Amino acid sequence: MSKLKQKEDFLSGTLGVTLMSVLLGFVLGGVILLVAGFNPLEAYWVILKGIFSRPKYVSYVIIYSTPLIITGLSVAFALRTGLFNIGAEGQYIMGAVAAAAAGYYLKLPMVLHVLTAVGLAVLVAAVWGGLAGYFKARFGVNEVISTIMLNWTALYISNFMVTIDSFGRQGTGKTYAIMSSAQIDILGQWKRTPEGIAFLREHPMLWDILKSPVNLGFIFALLLAVLVWYILSKTTLGYELRAVGHNPQAAEAGGINVKRSMVVSMLIAGGLAGAAGAFQVLGVSHRIATLAIMEGYGFDGIAVSLIGNNSGFGCVFAGLLFGALKYGGSKIQDVMGAPTEVINIMIGIIIFFTAMPKLIRMILAYKKKRKST
Amino acid sequence: MGCRAAAPDIGCQSLMAVEEKRVSAIDFSDKVVEMVDIVKKFGEFTANDRISLTVHRGEVHALLGENGAGKTTLMNCLYGLYRPTRGTIRINGAELAITDPNIAIRHGIGMVHQHFMLVAPFTVTENIVLGQEPVKLGGIVDLAEAHKRVVELSERYGLAVDPQARVEDISVGSQQRVEILKALYRGAQILILDEPTAVLTPSEIEELVAIIRNLTAEGKSIIIITHKLHEIKAVADYCTIIRRGTFVDRVKVDSVSEAELAAKMVGREVSFSVPKTRAQPGSRALSIENLVVRDNRSIPVVNGLNLELFHGEILGIAGVDGNGQTELVEALTGLRAVDSGRIFAADSEITGAAPKQIINQHHICSIHEDRRKRGLVLEFDVAENLVLETYHRRPFSRAGVLDQREIYQFAERCINDFDIRPQNPGLPAYTLSGGNQQKVIIAREVSNDPRILVASQPTRGLDVGAIEYVHRALVEQRDRGKAVLLISFELDEILNVSDRIAVIFEGRIVGVIDGAEADENQIGLLMAGGSR
Amino acid sequence: MEALLKDIAFIIGTTLMYSTPLIYAAIGGVITERSGIINIGLEGMMYFGAFVGAAVAYFTGDPWLGFFCAGLAGALLGLLHAVATVSFSAEQIVSGIAINFLGVGLALFISRLVFDGATQTLTVPNKIPLPLDFLFGEGRLFASSGFMDLVFNRFATVYLAFALVFVVWFLLYKTRLGMRLRAVGEHPEAADSLGISVFRIRYGAVIASGFLAGLGGAAMSIAVVSRFNNTLISGHGFIALAAMIFGKWKPQGALLACLIFGGAKGLEIFMGAKGVPIPSSLLATLPYILTIIILVGWVGRSQPPASIGRIFDKGEQ
């Protein structure tokens, strides 16, 4: 195959479409900035600096991306079975609540405490997702509605938990912090001790990194991505779920239990989103707080999954991209007065173009024609 | 020449009666349709390669070709759904660029599609007037006026319909009449009928023939797209034959035999019968007692059905679409709940069992009537489709983990044994042709070594070569001692392949006849509800 | 007795107020989905409409102009969605998600530029008027704060919403346009074969839904409250979507569903005001749990228009 044909195939394949969409997002975002009176190159430079110029920044990007990657995995997993998990947001919240409660109320040795907290979070969130799956399988209730309802219910349950006397600090709108044995920070305690501070003064790069809430969450995210990939492509369960996602009637005729698959898929998807909430609590916030509106990790996860083409590894890269844009983008407001929401617009544009592979192919075909004339 | 070879679908007597009544209403001075050297390409693929067609006023013109020859494509060009890549179309002598169905409709062309273009929840009247609705002030649809017009048309052309019925509730024959009324409502002078008799009983076919005679007597011209030779002999004046997108010949139907037509269509001599030895029936494989099954609208479409199937035989179920065949197969395969009655495989009861049990424990495998819907996961590759029923067993998986190597090796064996093309197990199933897709399904079901094989419309949409292949495969299974249940809407397929024939009508078996003694006249009568 | 009547009136009034924005968006959803296009982007359209409505109302002092411009803003996003899904056969759910990001992003972006870096507008000088206000008060037909006042003295947007439901119902079921739209949604190939332009009908439906969703957003920002802020529209678009599904894709059904949601909200506020000893956060779950129960128990399998989500491709011509 000639190099040119290879390049054409790549560009019109899904990876190519994604990259083109990202490119178009940056270009059009730049145009919007220009129209608003800002220098897009300056803005992009600020973003780049805001991501890469200090070890702390890189660390923050990784930390920001962690919950996004995992909620992305949750949405991607459900999509493979043909289910649209808008409920990742509510499942995330339930996971966070469970982890915060388990982290605070239980007294266990470190590793066990973390595993229990995560385990409980995954369990609760799995049920939260599985409910929607069950309603769909048994009663035919559209999963879009049921998960939206469950999202709001989760939000208010979380707020209620914050008001419980033993859990929530009166007047602060937050709960007490989880026990240190439940925290998954890396060197979180140590960096505050006198020895720690002394050591860090000698090692400024490490000190910079540790200024951010470095935790094990990212490692878990990567592990979960591998797990998702493995389940979907290597196991009989994955085979069943994919068959149901593509053609539930053929799957049924072949003997696969379609209803069971829907429930199992939502259980796993829910569990994943719950894990995202758990790691965020155990590694970063160490507590939950009253929420006026939903934080959006679940909804952003939808974007991550779509940009990442609903695959395990795609979610990792898309999650990092998303996290980088959101974190770096927050800087342009302070530095140049340009609204950070240009990032939202850019992300919207990227998703918009990933939805239209036909358009990208048309653009490529047009460019090809131009070249040959 | 026996009746069977000449016209398997219509009783011999009625055929001769129609022939006698045929008086030519053709006006040879008036060419209503001229398609000259039509070329239609889809990208690199040429569907029509310089095809020409001429129809005169009052003529019934058949367009004959195998599945996939390009007949519907050509007519879609005439109707404005496609635009020809090259070539000219003249209507009533004037050259016309038909870029849109609206233009075709305005020039008196109407099309009755093979897959009906009806809006299911709308009424008959709404479907007929859609797009040219009579309106009152402000764009309000005048349903009373529409109703009046529909009744008028229906009476004038003898097309009986219930104007207030919802289209999804009426019979298939009625739906076809609605489609014809749709065209007539728009003042069609030229009617294109795409495979019109595929869904009709023998008596409904006679009705349609009479309707066509009425229409030509009124000066209308008809183009029938078909691959059925007896239809052509029954009703057409002239016939244009196309093969693989190219024009083969234009003949006067009266002066050719069916065998000659078939040879032109396929390009070689065609034998109608399937070579097979006598059956050696064995023990009873399947027993159905008083089965009642409801369809999606809770109507008991299987209504007290009794049937027995034996090893080493092919039992064909003859009947027109809509008499409960689909639901019977779904009940047998566990895809639909049974209302009452019982089903036994050998001596175990399988009523209400899940598909997984039926396949794995009771060894009943099926080729479903809709291969795209029930048969294959089109996005999966060939190998993944081949293990759709067995992926959970050794050697294809162990402890929940798939063994890709075993799966692909098995796929390669199947591709060899069953001549599946292209020979790449990693290709997605949607890239395969209909015939090869069917081979994948057959390979899968047969490799599962079933005791009972249920084949439902197994040759639908396939060309002659693939049809021969499928029939041979069924006979081979029978010779290996399997019990084969064949359900088909094509009576000649049933007659050619089956050892015994059961006729289904309104959800019951109304007659069981030995294959060798079968008389299609009698069967046709049973299919339409008459008694022996 | 009078107290009870007043309580009921209060609940009804609050219900009407909270249902109205939902009604606009839900009706918009009905129109587009009846033509066969899924519109998940109602949230983004409402959000953008809410901002534009408030901004225009602030700068011009004319709430009706603001209301109209909100509709145009939503229609603009609707146009984008239409281009993607109808012309380029995009995945409809994905395009809808993109619209949500774009709507929020555009609203806040422009807000920061125009309102000095703030993610909220300043208070509008004139809200949507109360057209029946002249009937209530000292020496007029009805007493102030009486039953009639609480129930019927509502913003004009409320009456408009109810009128809209009737108009859309009439359009869909009585007129030629509505019949064709429904045909396109059930069987676009059939409509196409009869010369009906699936393309034009779907474009029109999607843009109309954007317009209505934008109006819904403004019904929040310049009627219920008097400014836009970044948490004003938080999930309303999704609730409207749920209402549409709940209402089985019929305008009357969607109206009922919106009223139920609004009613639950009204009940929640009422109980909070009365000091009912249930924690407010648990009270807030009421409408959502209620919906699930109703769906599971009664509504169950609701069938959308047959062609929904399916890509209609005229094929190469």
Question: Can you tell me the mean pLDDT for A338-347?
Answer: 88
pLDDT at C136 over 80: no
Å from B124 to nearest chain C CA? 13
- Rg of the Cα atoms in chain A: 22
How far apart, in whole angstroms, are the C-alpha atoms of residue C121 and residue C317? 50
For the domain spanning A37-338, the CATH number is: 1.10.3470
Q: Which of A246, A252, A253 sits opposite B380 (nearest CB)?
A: A246
* Number of CB atoms found within 10 A of residue B354's CB: 16
pLDDT score of B388 = 94
Residue B496 pLDDT level (bands cut at 50, 70, 90): confident
Of all residues in chain A, the one with the smallest CA distance to B334 is A253
C190 CB neighbours in chain B (<8 A) are 117-119, 130
- Give residues with Cβ within 8 angstroms of B263, minimum separation 6: B269, B270
For A86-108, write each residue's pLDDT tens digit. 899 999 999 999 999 998 888 88
Å from A299 to nearest chain C CA? 9
The strands making up B340-345's β-sheet, listed across from edge to edge, are: B302-310, B284-293, B340-345, B348-349
Mean pLDDT of chain C: 87
Asked if B119 lies within 8 A of C187 by C-beta distance, the reply is: yes
Instruction: Assess if residue B326 is contained within a domain.
Output: yes
Residue B13 pLDDT level (bands cut at 50, 70, 90): very low
Asked if C241 lies within 8 A of A345 by C-beta distance, the reply is: no
Task: Indicate the DSSP class of residue B167.
Answer: G
Question: Can you tell me the mean pLDDT for B506-529?
Answer: 82
pLDDT score of C70 = 96
Question: Can you tell me the mean pLDDT for C135-154?
Answer: 72
Residue C317 pLDDT level (bands cut at 50, 70, 90): very low
Enumerate the H helices of chain A as residue ranges: 3-12, 14-35, 40-52, 55-80, 88-105, 110-139, 143-163, 194-202, 204-210, 217-234, 236-246, 248-253, 258-280, 297-307, 312-336, 342-354, 357-372
pLDDT score of B198 = 72
For B43-100, write each residue's pLDDT tens digit. 777 888 899 999 999 999 999 887 677 888 899 899 988 899 999 999 998 998 998 8
pLDDT at C140 over 60: yes
Q: Which of C98, C104, C302 sits opposite A355 (nearest CB)?
A: C98
A354 CB neighbours in chain C (<8 A) are 94
Range(s) of the domain holding residue B435: 373-449
Question: Can you tell me the mean pLDDT for A24-38?
Answer: 89
Contact B67, B463 (CB under 8 A): yes
Question: Can you tell me the mean pLDDT for A254-282?
Answer: 94
* Least trusted range by pLDDT, from A296-310, A351-365, B206-220: A351-365
How far apart, in whole angstroms, are the C-alpha atoms of residue C70 and residue C79? 14
Question: Can you tell me the mean pLDDT for B433-450?
Answer: 89
Residue B21 pLDDT level (bands cut at 50, 70, 90): very low
Q: Which of C174, C194, C317 sits opposite B140 (nearest CB)?
A: C174
B42 CB neighbours in chain C (<8 A) are 316
Q: Which of C98, C111, C242 sits opposite A149 (nearest CB)?
A: C242
Q: Mutate which of C51, C76, C88 to test chain A, going by most A C-beta atoms within 10 A?
A: C88
Question: Can you tell me the mean pLDDT for C194-210?
Answer: 94
Domain co-membership, B285 together with B345 = yes
- Return the ∠ at Cα B119 (arms to B113 and B124), rounded to 5°: 90
B126 CB neighbours in chain C (<8 A) are 179
Q: Which of A246, A250, A257 sits opposite B375 (nearest CB)?
A: A250
pLDDT at B20 over 70: no
* Least trusted range by pLDDT, from A128-132, A336-340, A346-350, B161-165: A336-340
Q: Strand B27-42 to strand B45-57: parallel, antiparallel, or no bridges (unpaired)?
A: antiparallel
Question: Can you tell me the mean pLDDT for B470-474?
Answer: 90
Which chains have 3 or more CB–CB distances shorter than 8 Å to chain A? B, C
Instruction: Assess if residue B274 is contained within a domain.
Output: no
C186 in B contact zone (CB under 8 Å): yes
For the domain spanning C2-299, the CATH number is: 1.10.3470
Question: Can you tell me the mean pLDDT for C131-139?
Answer: 72
* Number of CB atoms found within 10 A of residue B455's CB: 28
For C64-76, write each residue's pLDDT tens digit. 999 999 999 999 9
How far apart, in whole angstroms, are the C-alpha atoms of residue A244 and residue A261? 7
The strands making up B86-91's β-sheet, listed across from edge to edge, are: B94-95, B86-91, B27-42, B45-57, B246-252, B238-243, B60-64, B221-226, B190-194, B109-112
What single-letter amino acid sits at B200?
L
Of all residues in chain A, the one with the smallest CA distance to C244 is A145
Asked if B377 lies within 8 A of A252 by C-beta distance, the reply is: no
Question: Can you tell me the mean pLDDT for A75-86?
Answer: 91
Domain co-membership, B233 together with B332 = no
Per the model's pLDDT, the better-predicted residue between A3 and C15 turns out to be C15
Asked if A344 lies within 8 A of C105 by C-beta distance, the reply is: yes
Extents of the domains making up chain A = 37-338
Asked if A341 lies within 8 A of C109 by C-beta distance, the reply is: yes
- Boundary (domain end) residue, out of B188, B208, B232: B188
C316 in B contact zone (CB under 8 Å): yes
Asked if C292 lies within 8 A of A144 by C-beta distance, the reply is: no
Of all residues in chain C, the one with the smallest CA distance to B84 is C317
pLDDT score of B271 = 59
Share above pLDDT 70 across residues of chain A, in percent, rounded to a whole number? 96
pLDDT score of B200 = 72
Question: Can you tell me the mean pLDDT for C219-235?
Answer: 88
- Whichever domain contains B21, its CATH number is 3.40.50.300
Contact B106, B90 (CB under 8 A): no
Q: Which of C105, C106, C231 sits opposite A292 (nearest CB)?
A: C231
Per the model's pLDDT, the better-predicted residue between B340 and A164 turns out to be B340
* Least trusted range by pLDDT, from B18-22, B175-179, C11-15, C254-258: B18-22
Of all residues in chain A, the one with the smallest CA distance to C232 is A293
How far apart, in whole angstroms, are the C-alpha atoms of residue B92 and residue B102? 17
ipTM confidence:
0.86
Of all residues in chain A, the one with the smallest CA distance to B394 is A236
Task: Domain count for chain B, please give it.
Answer: 4
**How many interface pairs between A and B have CB atoms less than 8 angstroms apart?**
64
Residue B270 pLDDT level (bands cut at 50, 70, 90): low
pLDDT at B9 over 60: no
How far apart, in whole angstroms, are the C-alpha atoms of residue B119 and residue A338? 52
How far apart, in whole angstroms, are the C-alpha atoms of residue A300 and residue A303? 5
Domain co-membership, B229 together with B89 = yes
Å from B443 to nearest chain A CA? 14
Domain co-membership, B441 together with B475 = no
Domain co-membership, B480 together with B340 = yes
- Give residues with Cβ within 8 angstroms of B94, minimum separation 6: none
pLDDT score of A276 = 95
pLDDT score of A11 = 57
Residue B344 pLDDT level (bands cut at 50, 70, 90): very high
pLDDT at A77 over 90: yes
Contact C247, C41 (CB under 8 A): no
Å from C89 to nearest chain A CA? 7
Which of A283-287, C223-227, C252-256 tops mean pLDDT? C252-256
Per the model's pLDDT, the better-predicted residue between B26 and A91 turns out to be A91
B353 CB neighbours in chain A (<8 A) are none
pLDDT at B475 over 80: yes
A254 CB neighbours in chain B (<8 A) are 355, 359, 388-389
Question: Can you tell me the mean pLDDT for A65-88?
Answer: 93
Å from A121 to nearest chain B CA? 26
A82 CB neighbours in chain B (<8 A) are none
pLDDT score of A339 = 86
For C105-121, write each residue's pLDDT tens digit. 999 999 988 888 888 88
pLDDT score of A144 = 83
Asked if B401 lies within 8 A of A235 by C-beta distance, the reply is: yes
pLDDT at A373 over 70: no
Residue B219 pLDDT level (bands cut at 50, 70, 90): confident
* Least trusted range by pLDDT, from B175-184, B508-517, C220-229, C297-306: C297-306
Which of A279-293, A297-311, C23-37, C152-166 tops mean pLDDT? C23-37
B141 in C contact zone (CB under 8 Å): yes
Question: Can you tell me the mean pLDDT for C64-91?
Answer: 93
Q: Which of C180, C193, C316 sits opposite B101 (nearest CB)?
A: C193
Share above pLDDT 90 across residues of chain C, in percent, rounded to a whole number? 47
Residue B1 pLDDT level (bands cut at 50, 70, 90): very low
Instruction: Assess if residue B368 is contained within a domain.
Output: no
How far apart, in whole angstroms, are the C-alpha atoms of residue A188 and residue B27? 97
Asked if B384 lies within 8 A of A253 by C-beta distance, the reply is: no
pLDDT at B531 over 90: no
Å from B204 to nearest chain C CA? 24
For A137-189, write each residue's pLDDT tens digit. 988 888 888 898 899 999 999 998 888 878 887 777 888 888 877 788 877 77
Of all residues in chain B, the one with the smallest CA distance to C313 is B81
For C4-26, write each residue's pLDDT tens digit. 888 888 888 889 988 999 999 99
* Least trusted range by pLDDT, from A147-151, A239-243, B185-189, B467-471: B467-471
Q: Mutate which of C45, C94, C268, C302 to test chain A, going by most A C-beta atoms within 10 A?
A: C94
How far apart, in whole angstroms, are the C-alpha atoms of residue B347 and residue A195? 81
Å from A231 to nearest chain B CA? 9
Domain co-membership, B476 together with B525 = yes
C306 in B contact zone (CB under 8 Å): yes
